[in-house]
């Protein structure tokens, strides 16, 4: 079993930018903490960003996907290792690590898998949650989220396409460690419902 799962529980939460992943997650974590669960949430991109900034390669998180592909892979691998190392020190058997990340990253070269085998060999997810939303809502959220310097505000059809690639990539990633996949719909003004679904999953693990 050790080779199939980490000691602590691991939940990977994926979803394209603007789907409301981070918001839903923080509410879900608040709710599950109130029910006595110890949950550590990490943003995978923040781990990559920390190294990339230290190395003087980028100024912000959106620049990461424009780096050379081998550099992105190196940052990706380092992030996965660091996340698990940190969690091994902090989390016990009943505790949950939640990783906020992407199943697919749009780069100039092509769509980079966010959860390839070398990442999964570290994370060994107990479950992969895919957060989805109405493409029109995602579009308006991405436009509002200009603060984060997103440079990929395509049209609604681009968002639809990226969302379907992201779902397909999540299922492909799930194969490596037999991680069940759950698709969570984050409807506009129903954040509470989406958060409750994630909370139930955290409590069921």
DSSP 26: H
Q: 32 or 101, CB closer to Mg ion?
A: 101
Cα separation, 8 vs 205, whole angstroms: 10
CB of 26 to Mg ion, least distance (A): 10
Residue 182's binding partner, choosing from ligand AMP, Mg ion, none, with beta-carbon cut-off 5 to 8 A by kind? none
Cβ at position 170, least distance to ligand AMP in Å: 11
CB-nearer residue toward Mg ion: 15 or 125:
15
Print burial letters for 109-146: b (CB count within 10 Å at least 16), e (below 16): eeebbbbbeebbebbbbbbbbbbbbbbebbbebbeeee
Q: Which is nearer to ligand AMP, 17 or 20 (CB)?
A: 17
Least distance from C-beta 107 to Mg ion, angstroms?
18
Least separation in angstroms between CB 57 and ligand AMP:
12
Assess 22 for contact with Mg ion (CB under 5 A). Answer: yes
CA distance 58 to 71: 12
* Beta bridge partner(s), residue 10: 97
Residue 37 or 113: the one with the smaller Cβ distance to ligand AMP is 113
- Contact partners, residue 13, CB within 8 Å, separation at least 6: 21, 25, 98, 99, 100, 101, 129, 131, 198
**CB 14 to ligand AMP: min, Å:** 8
Residue with Cβ nearer Mg ion (32 or 142): 142
Instruction: Please report, for residues 37, 91, 143, 162, the alpha-carbon distance to residue 114 in angstroms, rounded to integers and kept in the order given.
Output: 27, 24, 23, 13
For ligand AMP, the binding residues (CB under 6 A) are 17, 43-45, 48, 61-62, 64-65, 76, 101-102, 105, 112, 114-115
Please report, as ranges, the residues that interact with Mg ion according to CB under 5 A: 22
């Amino acid at each position: 079993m050790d080779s199939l799962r980490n000691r602590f529980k691991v939940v990977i939460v994926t979803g394209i930018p603007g789907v409301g992943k981070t918001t839903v997650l923080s509410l879900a974590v608040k709710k599950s903490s109130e029910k006595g669960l110890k949950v550590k949430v990490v943003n995978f991109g923040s781990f990559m960003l920390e190294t990339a900034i230290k190395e003087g390669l980028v100024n912000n998180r959106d620049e990461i996907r424009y780096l050379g592909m081998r550099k992105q892979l190196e940052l990706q691998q380092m992030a996965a290792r660091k996340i698990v190392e940190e969690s091994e020190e902090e989390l016990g058997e009943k505790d949950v690590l939640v990783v906020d990340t992407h199943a697919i990253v749009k780069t100039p070269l092509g769509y980079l898998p966010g959860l390839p085998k070398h990442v999964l060999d570290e994370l060994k997810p107990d479950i992969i949650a895919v957060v989805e939303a109405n493409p029109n809502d995602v579009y308006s959220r991405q436009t509002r989220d200009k603060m984060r310097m997103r440079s990929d505000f395509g049209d609604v059809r681009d968002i639809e396409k990226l969302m379907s690639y992201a779902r397909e990539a999540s299922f492909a990633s799930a194969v490596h460690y037999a991680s069940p996949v759950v698709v969570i719909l984050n409807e506009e003004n129903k954040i509470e419902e989406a958060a409750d679904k994630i909370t139930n999953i955290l409590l069921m693990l």
